[in-house]
Structure 1
Amino acid sequence: MGRKLWITTSAAALLWCAAASAQAQQADTDNTRSEQEQSTSVADVVVTAERRTSNLQTTAVAATVLSGQDLENKAVTSLDQLQFAAPSTTIQNFGQGNFFNVRGIGKSEATTAVGVGVITYRDGVAAFPAYFQTEPYYDIGSLELLRGPQGTFAGANATGGAVFITARNPDFTGINGYAFAQAGNYNDIKLQGAINLPLTDTVAMRLAFNHETRDSFYTVTGAYRGHPGVVDSNSVRASLLWQPTDALRVLWKTDYNNIDLGGYMADPALATNDPFIITSNGPNEAHDEFVRTSLNVSYVFENGMTLKSITGYQNGVSRFATDLDGTSAGNNTFYDQLDEQVWSQEFNLLSPDNQRLTWLLGLYYQNDMAQFPPTTPGRGEYRIGFPENVLDIYLYGDTPKETSAAFGQISYDISDKLQLQVGARYAHSVSTNDDVYQTYPQFGIVLFQDDKVEDDKLTGKVTLNWKLNDTNFVYGFVATGHKMGGLNGPNLYQPAASFNAENLVDYELGWKSTMMGGRLRTQLGAYYTVYEDYQVNIGDPQYPQISRIQNVIGDTTMMGLEASAQGRFGPLSFDIAGSVSSSEMGDFFAADPRLGRTGVCNPATGPTSANCVNISGNTKNYAPEFTFNAGIQYAFALGSNMTLTPRVDYAHIGKSWTTIFNNAALGDRLSERDIVNASIKLNTGEWTWAAYAMNATDETYIAAINSGLRYAGPPRQYGINLTKTF
């Protein structure tokens, strides 16, 4: 690992030295560029995650920022594909939930008791945590993926990073929009469109929709139920902007999604057959229906201060069912319904930008009610069968979470080149298992839980920014992250145990440069993170019959290097990004629940045995040592305002582990994957014809492993589409 890190660091250093040399040569030329030169430079990229609009090249954050056009070019239409467009990012989708990790930090346990570590904001509102992640990307203005803990602005559940997605807003430029139609293999049909309508001088509306139907990727035999892998996805969005004065701006948005994915097919993790040819005798369902509405209000006072209010409401029902053994031999099944409502409110007060001392103050409140509903008395929608109708486990009850927080940041210009920033956030959170029942009907057993845990934490970030000159920016910071603890569910052997919060400290250095008259922009960063009390779901230390969420005792350390660049030279444009990292688990004796065990497995002392192992030195799960992605396109001018633009995108995600045990013999290894997307577009002005291929080489790879089952990544998809802009 050390040699790989050294090689990558050396390569990055050579790249930057060469770029710096080119920049020095450029400085010797006239600084005034012609209009033609300006049109070939890389467009300015801004970030809004810190509640102000700032240039990415002069903001102390490691981030990947993609416009709606970038997402389209890279074939990023949902969360799954985002990992192929951003370094240090992995997403394991296994149906109703997913494991979204940045730098190996995020979520790695399929339970609502463990919070996410990468939080997603939609139009300023923190979206449903972990569930309801199937919402498609359409009519998007920008997507910002921030790496590393975002304890000041995103708060708890942002230990690994945060994603800020902004749909395109209404404006007063006139009636405009687009219509899109696509046809592809697997009988894929997609229709999409948006229209911007200025209703008056002060009111504008934007309407958008997305519809897609597609056949399954799988050939399924056996007595299965449902329509596994068959897609019927429908989404609409309405936005209304009221701007009666330059000072007041009111933006309302509502999204509705009804997304039926039929079910997620899987087979045993160690199977060697084609993962798209499966036999099953279980149920199949994966259906999300949810609505989200947000109200963003901002007012600029005469003294330049700005007051902002962001109100959010979300309501959804998620249903999931699967064959838990992944074969047609057994009859182990899983059914689940989650009903969730989230209310949130945020206030920001910002100082004017153009002064030596700037500041921001914020207040935040969120109420998240997640309910597992009951059906008949003593039974719930959440049902596990081992096997079904022989040993059934039902779960139902309410698991509300409530968070209140105050945060702020101060920026002080020590000189015209040096700036100090200090940010902090204090949060109080409560997590409750309210009248939660777990029943075993065949044995007449009922377990009851009514308990809660509370959490108080101060997180923050201290940054030193140094503007070397107009084209080079260097920064360094220390940031902290926090994910609250929680409650294990009831069990037969002992009272339900709580688990502790996770905490981490992150140290980062970065350098951002703009070169060759704006044609080339680069970002280079290094980080070192100490990760304490990592939450894992493993065998109970004393009772081998059960598993429960526990905290890793020893500190996990993580370090890495990330580099990216974007260039535009006339009709040629490209982007490139990569990361190399190393992680090491601390001292901790853990019992693998997949292995039979007798006796105790004390987390601190063991003793070591075949099924009580010290994981010290193991690689952190979901932390690949190497990721890389690159895209290139060239616009050939054909005359009469016509262009022909071929584009190729390539992404590599190195192998990683799915558990802390790093046991390949039990199916813990996710193999590396190399994904190629390609397209060619003919643009005639208002019309754009395109042919596309996603996973063009038709690489078969396993995208996720969970609960002993493997889930295949999408095979090759290809087709044509047509876009009309107006």
Structure 2
Amino acid sequence: MKKLLPKHTLVALGVSLGIAASCTPSLAYSQDSALEHITVQAQKTSQNLQEVPVAVTALSGDDLIETVVKDVFDLQNYVPAFGAFQNQSVTNSGFSIRGIGTSSQNFGFESSVGLYVDGVYRSRQNALINDLVDIAAIEVLRGPQGTLFGKNTAAGAMTLTSVAPSHTDTDGFVEVLAGNDSLLRVSAGASFSLVDDILAMRISGFKTDGDGYITDATSGQSLNNKNRSAIKAQWLYTPTKSVSVRIIADYGELNERCCGALTWQNNFQANDIPGKFGTDALLSQPTFNATIYSNDDFFDFTTSLSQPPISKMEDKGVSGQIEVALNEQWSLVGITAYRAFDSIDIVDTDFSDADLLTATNDAKQQSFSQELRLHYKSDKIRGLVGAYYFSQNLDLTFNTTTQSAFDSFFSIAGAELLPLANAIDGLSAATGGLIAPSGVAAPSNTVFMHTANQEQDSVAFFAQADWLLSDTITLTTGMRFTDEKKSIAGRYTEQGPGIDGLSGAPESRPNIGAAVTALNDIGVALNTGTAISPTSLNALAPFQQAGWGYFFLGSSAVLPRPDLNEAIDDSQLTGTIKLAYQANKNQLIYASLASGYKAGGTNTDRILPSLDATFEAEKARSAEIGLKQDWPDYGVRVNVAAHYSTIEDFQATTFTGTGFNLQNAGDIHVKGLELETTWLMSANTELQLIASRTLANFDTFKQGTCWVAYSWHTGIDDPGRASPADPYCARDGDRVGFEPQNSLSIMLNHHFLVASYDATISADYQYTGEVYLDDSNDPYKQSGSYEIINARLSLQLEEWDTEIIVWARNLLDEEYIARSGFDVPVQEGKLMAYPGAPRSYGISVRNRF
């Protein structure tokens, strides 16, 4: 936060640092204006933010400190058209830009928002959820960034830069942050000069603990708790003025109970169909005696589970960056990195305290990347050429296990199948066991396993140049070629009482109609003394194997399928062209065309055999016009951008209650307007307004997910269904899920003196419009708009180099859903959703040395 010197001398007021103003560690202020000169790396070279023809928001490490941003999910207040949300576990977080984002539930599914830490691409979005400690700058680039940042930037890119080692002895810190729910974070960092002006080292780290805000009534434990830590060591070697080598090694781990989902709509009884009862009515009875919740209980933040969720992660890596200034015009940059990410998630997938289903997801990823860039600059041309290589291996084991009460649950829930099983048992008794009895329909403690091993290699070549056509006009051109190869080997097995492996062959699947006909034919044969047809016996055989009931759950999570061996080989050409007009140093007008893509992939989930295990690349094309305008005499800055994008083969995933529907949806279009405004109202007061209007809709989506809960409760079928037997529904014209159309943030900072100490009071207001909780546009999955207010009071104790901040987030305790909800497995008509965090408050004390 920019502070006032004694005697009310304003050193620097700018884009509200307490309110997410754009800034980086290297801030320089002009003499005739208090508006900041903000240096960004949006085009992989240092430039003034107001001279970059890209819609980018930048925040410095001081911003994160002053606004008490504890992780990336807190950034939504301060970046237009940006969203961050978390799903079933800590491993499954997601980011979106301009209405386009990706849930990382499926490990074969890559992000639409490219994430980079110290120049290194992170393939899993969860790699960024750990506390933002010792960060120098964050930049969020909106719109396709396929030229310089490559694949998986169809929506945009986010870059994080750590504080670098230095030879100064004044860049160390120790911070203690404490809050409600027993939150305690201790963090520290410091640089050390090992060889004067040649070799410096920096060590930083943190440890965070805290209770969660959701209570599991069964265990008494809190969910969404905090238990995470990380350490980072860096070395900066500068043997000459023209050579710089930076080595970074980091290790982080997390062990938490996340994430708590609450009942948004139960299915005890259908809302509009009298006498129709669902699984909640069954589970509330003996022998289950489950605790049933309704929407009225949602914001009590209480649930009941047979076991709390478990999320564990271990993230580690090492990278090296070398920069060599060859001469005044040419320089070379190389970044080499190795990363390993291991995670295990255990989830009670029936989301109740009945012992029905549990799932374990154990994943291990290793990646290697190498980037090499050659930069050039002269009076008329600035540019770079480069090459990039990325390789990753993924080993995944995903198990769904039926618990002790599942067979009883199925026997009652699937009561319409019992007469058929009883008839087979009666026939077996009548023949003295000559015809085998029915098998146990859904034996408990059965494990449905699948393993997946995915390998991928990506190679890219790219170039971009700024052509300074005149003193006021700059033309930017860029192009990137990417070749992507992926292969996956998957195996699907079943283990449990009496199950040697359910067959996925069509002739081995139970067919009710064929079995009824067979029973009649066998009855006739027994009465007439004729031979029993082998065809009839074959029709009964599937019902005589243990686990035959699983075929009628309609669940891709348990339905057998053949082993998987698939591969994709894809190449894409992306690029950009931008024209910028800068009449003077205070105004930039630009127009740009850009393309990007998200790589195709392989579905690592246990899916229906009828679904394609691979999906094609997602391709984005965007047009944007923008204005960046400063009025230094009035202390006003206005940055505005209008954009229109089309995305072909959009990769969509929606949980249907019986599995994930992951596929290329078709085409979508996105259009919108973004505004970032700063007004230095006085020497002591600054105001910032951030607003966005984003319209994201499917042009074509023929095989979309159908309504589930709404249809169950009302009897009204999805209008997108072509025929009653069609398992898919057209979503043409529907909104893309998870994303609000309107958002607004207003931030106010006021600086004043308290007994000669600098103080700042800050308030943030955030409005988020209504959203659909997934892409199905089920009317029951529409969540209303909400408003949040954050507040802070900071005090600078300069003689002790200490800052104290008293803070509160969601000050008025607004109740809202955190953008995501789902149909509960094997419980049609029931919806769960993830609540937004209630009010939190605390104090932060930071000492610099």
Q: TM-score, normalised by structure 1?
A: 0.87
Give 1:487 shift: 2.5
> Which of 311, 327, 331 is the matching residue for 1:302?
327
1:129 aligns with 2:129: no
Separation in 2 of the partners of 1:521 and 1:414?
27
Counterpart position of 1:566: 678
Between 149-158 and 530-539, the greater mean CA deviation after superposition:
530-539
**Aligned in 2, Cα 1:43/1:518: closer, same or farther, shift over 3 Å?**
farther
Structure 2: unaligned runs, 5 residues or longer: 1-27, 266-293, 407-442, 503-559, 712-716, 824-831
Counterpart position of 1:30: none
> Which of 372, 395, 401 is the matching residue for 1:347?
372
**Aligned in 2, Cα 1:494/1:592: closer, same or farther, shift over 3 Å?**
closer
**Aligned in 2, Cα 1:174/1:156: closer, same or farther, shift over 3 Å?**
same
Q: Secondary structure at the match of 2:36?
A: coil
Indicate if the aligned counterparts of 1:41 and 1:518 stay in contact, CA closer than 8 A: no
Aligned residue identity for 1:61: V
Indicate if the aligned counterparts of 1:267 and 1:325 stay in contact, CA closer than 8 A: no
Give 1:675 shift: 1.9
1:682 aligns with 2:682: no
Indicate if the aligned counterparts of 1:488 and 1:548 stay in contact, CA closer than 8 A: no
1:230 aligns with 2:225: yes
Give 1:229 shift: 2.9
Separation in 1 of the partners of 2:732 and 2:351?
32
Give 1:74 shift: 2.4
Counterpart position of 2:774: 659
Separation in 2 of the partners of 1:605 and 1:278?
34
Counterpart position of 1:414: 469
RMSD: 2.8
> Which of 238, 241, 257 is the matching residue for 1:243?
238
**Aligned in 2, Cα 1:101/1:608: closer, same or farther, shift over 3 Å?**
farther
Superposition pairs for residues 458-607 of structure 1, below 5 Å?
Answer: 458-489=573-604, 491=607, 493-494=609-610, 496-517=612-633, 519-537=635-653, 548-553=661-666, 555-568=667-680, 569-592=682-705, 595=708, 606-607=722-723
> Which of 233, 243, 253 is the matching residue for 1:258?
253
1:186 aligns with 2:181: yes
Count of residue pairs the alignment pairs up:
672
Superposition pairs for residues 21-100 of structure 1, below 5 Å?
Answer: 38=31, 41-94=34-87, 95=89, 96-100=91-95
Counterpart position of 1:383: 400
Counterpart position of 1:206: 202
Separation in 2 of the partners of 1:467 and 1:253?
38
**Aligned in 2, Cα 1:300/1:182: closer, same or farther, shift over 3 Å?**
same
| Larger proportion of strand | 1
Indicate if the aligned counterparts of 1:63 and 1:145 stay in contact, CA closer than 8 A: yes
**Aligned in 2, Cα 1:413/1:718: closer, same or farther, shift over 3 Å?**
same
Indicate if the aligned counterparts of 2:232 and 2:250 stay in contact, CA closer than 8 A: yes
Structure 1: unaligned runs, 5 residues or longer: 1-34, 373-379
Give 1:310 shift: 0.6
Indicate if the aligned counterparts of 2:818 and 2:835 stay in contact, CA closer than 8 A: yes
Indicate if the aligned counterparts of 2:665 and 2:704 stay in contact, CA closer than 8 A: no
Counterpart position of 2:750: 634
> Which of 489, 492, 503 is the matching residue for 1:438?
492
Q: Secondary structure at the match of 1:282?
A: coil
Separation in 1 of the partners of 2:77 and 2:32?
28
Aligned residue identity for 1:204: A
Counterpart position of 2:354: 329
Indicate if the aligned counterparts of 1:675 and 1:695 stay in contact, CA closer than 8 A: yes
**Aligned in 2, Cα 1:384/1:120: closer, same or farther, shift over 3 Å?**
farther
Deviations 1:273-328 (Å, cap 9, x if unpaired)? 13411111134211211112221100001243010001111112111122212221
Give 1:121 shift: 0.4
Indicate if the aligned counterparts of 2:199 and 2:237 stay in contact, CA closer than 8 A: yes
**Aligned in 2, Cα 1:704/1:365: closer, same or farther, shift over 3 Å?**
same
Give 1:478 shift: 0.6
Superposition pairs for residues 156-195 of structure 1, below 5 Å?
Answer: 156-195=151-190
**Aligned in 2, Cα 1:211/1:138: closer, same or farther, shift over 3 Å?**
same
**Aligned in 2, Cα 1:497/1:186: closer, same or farther, shift over 3 Å?**
closer
**Aligned in 2, Cα 1:382/1:298: closer, same or farther, shift over 3 Å?**
farther
Q: Secondary structure at the match of 2:564?
A: strand
1:138 aligns with 2:141: no
Deviations 1:660-692 (Å, cap 9, x if unpaired)? 221122xx2233232221111111211222211
Separation in 2 of the partners of 1:298 and 1:581?
39
**Aligned in 2, Cα 1:311/1:470: closer, same or farther, shift over 3 Å?**
same
Separation in 2 of the partners of 1:604 and 1:488?
25
Indicate if the aligned counterparts of 1:106 and 1:159 stay in contact, CA closer than 8 A: no
Separation in 1 of the partners of 2:254 and 2:35?
36
Give 1:720 shift: 1.7
Q: Secondary structure at the match of 1:45?
A: strand
Separation in 2 of the partners of 1:113 and 1:652?
34
Indicate if the aligned counterparts of 1:88 and 1:627 stay in contact, CA closer than 8 A: yes
Aligned residue identity for 1:532: E
Aligned residue identity for 1:664: P
Indicate if the aligned counterparts of 2:688 and 2:747 stay in contact, CA closer than 8 A: yes
Separation in 2 of the partners of 1:342 and 1:530?
31
Separation in 1 of the partners of 2:238 and 2:302?
56
Q: Secondary structure at the match of 2:475?
A: strand
Indicate if the aligned counterparts of 2:82 and 2:96 stay in contact, CA closer than 8 A: yes
Q: Secondary structure at the match of 1:83?
A: helix
Q: Secondary structure at the match of 2:641?
A: strand
Give 1:111 shift: 0.9
1:426 aligns with 2:481: yes
Separation in 2 of the partners of 1:369 and 1:712?
34
Deviations 1:479-531 (Å, cap 9, x if unpaired)? 11111222335656448542222112100000001212483322011001112
| Larger proportion of helix | 2
Give 1:721 shift: 2.2
**Aligned in 2, Cα 1:519/1:612: closer, same or farther, shift over 3 Å?**
same
Counterpart position of 1:217: 213
Q: TM-score, normalised by structure 2?
A: 0.75
Separation in 2 of the partners of 1:152 and 1:220?
47
Counterpart position of 1:27: none
Give 1:385 shift: 4.2
Indicate if the aligned counterparts of 1:310 and 1:347 stay in contact, CA closer than 8 A: yes
Give 1:199 shift: 2.1
Give 1:402 shift: 1.5
Q: Secondary structure at the match of 1:82?
A: helix
Give 1:207 shift: 1.3
Separation in 2 of the partners of 1:37 and 1:520?
14
Separation in 1 of the partners of 2:724 and 2:579?
46
Deviations 1:48-105 (Å, cap 9, x if unpaired)? 1321011110101111100011122223221211222211111220122123111111
**Aligned in 2, Cα 1:713/1:39: closer, same or farther, shift over 3 Å?**
farther
Aligned residue identity for 2:451: Y
**Aligned in 2, Cα 1:132/1:670: closer, same or farther, shift over 3 Å?**
farther
Separation in 1 of the partners of 2:49 and 2:679?
15
Indicate if the aligned counterparts of 2:154 and 2:620 stay in contact, CA closer than 8 A: yes
Give 1:109 shift: 6.1
Indicate if the aligned counterparts of 1:143 and 1:165 stay in contact, CA closer than 8 A: yes
Separation in 2 of the partners of 1:422 and 1:310?
24
Give 1:191 shift: 0.9
Counterpart position of 1:695: 810
Separation in 2 of the partners of 1:546 and 1:572?
52
Deviations 1:258-287 (Å, cap 9, x if unpaired)? 122222111334241134111111342112
Aligned residue identity for 1:234: S
Q: Secondary structure at the match of 2:254?
A: strand
Counterpart position of 1:375: none
